[in-house]
Chain A
Amino acid sequence: MLCDLDQGLAAARAQQFGIPEVETDYQRLLSRNDIDVVDIVTRGNDRGENHQELTFAALEAGKHVLCEKPVCHDYRDIRRAHEVAASKSLKTKVGLTFRYAPAVMYMQSLIAEGFIGEPYIFNGFEQNSQWINPDTPMDKRPHKERSEATEIKGHDPRPEAIQVLSLEGYGAPIIDIGLMSVGSRLERVVGTLKNMLPYRRRTNLDTERERINVDDADIFIGDCANGALFSVQSAYVTVGNYPGIEARIYGSKGALVCRLVEEFGDCQTLHGATPDAVEFVRMPIPDRFFPPGVASGEPWPSLFYGNLVHNFMQELQGGDGVNQGNFAQSACVQEVINAVALSHRQRRWVDLPLAS
């Protein structure tokens, strides 16, 4: 079943993908007994604020839930959602797409086997040049009329009032990969958020630029509980191709560098080195890390998401406790984002877990 407020859109997609049923009222979808899993991928007015409402409704209705990020803006709400799910033996998954890239899954498998030894340093990047041009509308939706509801605010020009944007939209998946790679939680973080382009076009309806104070680029560093060092940079004003992930992990026995960047015909590469062989060499990704039905040269959005969805289906059928990239993990990631934002606003190191 496919549900959307826009009947025409839902019908067109259903036809495109051969989906039997179409609906415009999500409540009716949730009340169906013959639906096991709900996938929430709505846009909403306020950067997915309806994700929270829809998520809790779906869990209350007893459905397993896949939800695009952000599940909720406050990590405490995501944790609550996780607890609701766990109490009803439901599994969840968040659209932290990039952990499901075959190269990343292979990287994690190597780490689990001891390739890097004791983790020392993680460096993560998620960056490209999507909004390097100040005339590219910050809100890319094709608006036909002006509306008060806008997901891009940034009205307060003070540096400490900067609206978190890149850190949440771009940073979340690489923070997720970083935590997974070092195998430890962060104990404290400190960071800086920058509004590199202070004047931008807000929407396609705007001809003039206006002052918009949003986080175009940010860097934070942190200490992990297991002694590792952590850094993450996210930006949409840094020249580079999509998606723009780079994950590097250095340890006592080896190092791995994973790039998810469209370059020279590849969308993903993994390179590794050891103290005895210090030049980083390409490590081909074994077939078992690719989803069923993968086509050669398949674009990364469908390739990575194919793995995500396949992984969720395996977990649902597995019947054991395994459930990676779920709401609990998303809450950890969102907590880090909340902590870095607080660190920026108060210009100090912030300890984790955050005080409630």
Chain B
Amino acid sequence: MKDKLRVGVIGAGRWAGMAHIPGWKRSPLVDLVVICDIDREKAQARAKEFDVPGVETDYQKVLSSSDIDVVDIVTSGDNHEPLTFAALEAGKHVLVEKPVCHDYKDVWRAHALATSKKLKTKVGLTFRYAPAMQYMYDLIEDGFVGQPYIFNGWEQNSQWIDPAGPSRFARQDTGNAPIKVGSLEGYGAPTIDISLWVVQSRLTSVVGVLKNFVPKRKNPDGSWVRTNVDDGDIYIGEYANGAICSMQSSYVTVGNYPGIEARVYGSKGALICRLVEEFGECQVLKSATPDAVEFVEVEVPASYFPVGYKKGESWRSLFYANLVHNFAQEITDGGEANQGNFAQSARVQEIINAVERSHRERRWVDLPLDPGVGD
């Protein structure tokens, strides 16, 4: 029996506590050995909460430790890129929350570095790991939809619909600067990932529009600032295999968490997967065929659920448990498989960069953006 993978988590915030750390604890392939955060108290609290032996405040120590195989970067703020490169340089497999880097070319550089050192990577593209999504993918692989025609994706909820809503952090006053990418990157990425994965083709062209629906927001100190940020966006795209897609992301559209919907229509059938907390469920998969055109619910087999799953488990821990265990399995098996890795994240980030360009230049933007970069 192989030795367990030794994991260090950098960043002890809310998402680490809700999703990452519980996921590592749950995988039989993993030993979670250290929690690192610049805030020692936070790190200690998490370590105690989850029974993790080591606490650290200096990430360099985690990276230079030869007793760590995998580093999980789940810091808030803009430091994912330097932490990622440092971890790869140190010879660690890396899981990192999105965005890895803002420019997709940098994500490809990170991927190239990882592969040159035979390291595996994984990005927090949470939603492909939902049991219902993994099953939907397998059904499509088995030919359920036939030739794909249309993909429609949404990632939306009403997290910031209230301009005066409570905010944990002060928003920047954007002044009259042009609209900044927001929802498209923060919300859209995982569903853009799914749109490539299930259609099994790359996008050749996109055209889209970013909108700022809430022009001013209230900060914790009571002041109102101009927030010219994309809080809702739509793009349409064309695939190399002839399919077309639409993708919408927003955090000002009424609806529950997490708020993903993925629909695939093909020559032989259609599948709809909703990851939305409704009526006690966090995920539902439905299917229809030309001979049975009413969409009916499809039961997701037990094998798609992680160890320790209980009905009614929160999606926050459920999906991430699958993500983390999948990563651990890929590393432990040592084969070629490495889904949702930096290469995939680079493709997703490239689309985000392309849609942003499409919005600013008000035109279709062809992909690849820079032939010769990536694959």
Interface residues of A (CB under 8 A from B): 118, 120-121, 123, 127-129, 132-133, 190-192, 194, 196-197, 217, 219-221, 223, 227, 229, 231, 233, 235, 237-241, 250-252, 254-255, 262-264, 273-275, 278-280, 347-349
Contact = CB atoms under 8 A, between A and B. Distances in A.
Nearest to A240: B293
A121 B149 contact: no
Instruction: Report whether over half of chain B's contact residues are helix, strand or loop; otherwise say mixed.
Output: strand
Size class of the B contact interface (CB-based, 8 Å): 35 or more
B213 interface: yes
Given A123-B248, A239-B293, A223 B270 contact: no
Contact of B277 (A197, A241, A250, A279): A279
A239 B248 CA distance: 21
Contact of B150 (A197, A217, A241, A262): A217
A62 B58 CA distance: 86
A182 B157 CA distance: 19
Contacts of A194: 149, 242, 244
B158 A120 contact: no
Nearest to B265: A238
Contacts of B364: 190, 347-348
Contact of A223 (B150, B209, B242): B209
Contacts of B234: 121, 221, 229, 231
Interface of B: 149-150, 152, 156-158, 161-162, 207-209, 211, 213, 232-236, 238, 242, 244-246, 248, 250, 252-256, 265-267, 269-270, 277-279, 288-290, 293-295, 362-364
Given A221-B234, A238-B149, A348-B363, A190 B157 contact: no
A208 to B, nearest CB: 20
B213 A219 contact: no
A238 B244 contact: no
Given A233-B150, A235-B150, A241-B293, A278 B157 contact: yes
Contacts of B265: 127, 235, 237-240
21 contacts: A121-B234, A121-B248, A121-B250, A123-B248, A132-B290, A192-B238, A194-B149, A217-B244, A219-B236, A221-B235, A231-B246, A239-B290, A240-B288, A241-B293, A250-B156, A252-B161, A263-B294, A275-B162, A275-B254, A279-B277, A349-B363
Nearest to B266: A239
Nearest to A265: B294
Given A190-B207, A229-B232, A231-B234, A120 B213 contact: yes
A281 to B, nearest CB: 9
A347 B232 CA distance: 24
Contact of A129 (B161, B236, B279, B290): B290
A235 B149 contact: yes
B363 A120 contact: no
A120 B232 contact: yes
A170 B207 CA distance: 23
Contacts of A127: 265
B244 A278 contact: no
A178 to B, nearest CB: 13
B232 A239 contact: no
A228 to B, nearest CB: 8
Contact of B270 (A192, A227, A238, A252): A238
Contact of B253 (A121, A219, A227, A240): A121
A129 to B, nearest CB: 5
B279 A221 contact: no
Nearest to B211: A229
Contact of A219 (B156, B246, B252, B363): B246
Given A133-B290, A241-B294, A254-B254, A279 B149 contact: no
Contacts of A192: 236, 238, 244
Contacts of B162: 275
A238 B213 contact: no
What are the 6 closest A-B residue pairs judged by CB atoms, nearest first? A255-B254, A239-B270, A250-B253, A238-B265, A241-B293, A278-B256
Contacts of B209: 221, 223, 229
Contacts of A275: 158, 161-162, 254
Given A217-B150, A278-B157, 10 more contacts: A121-B248, A217-B244, A219-B245, A221-B235, A233-B150, A235-B150, A239-B265, A240-B270, A240-B293, A251-B254
A332 to B, nearest CB: 21
Contacts of A274: 254
Contacts of B158: 275, 278
